[in-house]
Amino acid sequence: QELEIAYTKVHGDVCHPMPPSALCFAPTLRAAKFGSCEFPELTAPSPKFPRLKQLTLCRVSISEDSLHGMLSGCIALESLSLDRNIGIGRLCISSPTVRRFSFSPHRDKQGIVTCQELLVQDVPCLERLILHDSHIGPATIRITGAPKLELLGLLSHGISTLKPGTTVLQKTIDVSLTTIMHKVKILVVDSIGPNLDAIVGLLKCFTFLERLYVISHPQEDMNNVRKYDPLDPIECLELHLKKVVLKNYDGNRTQVIHFAQFFVLNAKVLKEMEIGVVNRCNSKWMRFQRKRLQVENRASRDAQIELKWDTKKSFKYHGFSEADPFDMSSC
Q: Report the distance separating Cα 96 and Cα 118, nearest Å.
A: 17
Q: Three-state SS for 264?
A: helix
pLDDT of residue 158: 65
Averaged over successive runs of 10 residues, the pLDDT of the chain (331 residues) comes to 86 76 90 92 80 95 91 95 91 95 85 82 93 76 88 78 54 43 87 85 89 86 76 93 94 90 96 91 89 96 93 72 72 44
61 DSSP assignment: B
Asked if residues 153 and 128 have their Cβ atoms less than 8 Å apart, the reply is no
Q: What is the pTM of this model?
A: 0.87
Q: Report the distance separating Cα 214 and Cα 126, nearest Å.
A: 23
Give the contacts of 287 (CB within 8 A, at least 6 positions apart).
none
> DSSP secondary structure string, 129-173?
EEETTGGG--SEEEEES-TT--EEEEE-TT-SEEEETT--EETTT
Q: What is the CA radius of gyration of the chain?
A: 22
Taking the mean position of all CA atoms in its chain, how far away is CA 270?
22
pLDDT of residue 166: 46
pLDDT of residue 274: 95
Q: How far apart are the first and last CA of the chain?
A: 29
Q: Report the distance separating Cα 298 and Cα 289, nearest Å.
A: 14
What is the CB neighbour count within 10 angstroms for residue 286?
18
Asked if residues 195 and 171 have their Cβ atoms less than 8 Å apart, the reply is no
Asked if residues 16 and 36 have their Cβ atoms less than 8 Å apart, the reply is yes
CA distances from 325 to 62, 179, 186, 308 (A): 29, 26, 10, 21
Q: Three-state SS for 297?
A: helix
Q: Report the distance separating Cα 176 and Cα 164, nearest Å.
A: 10
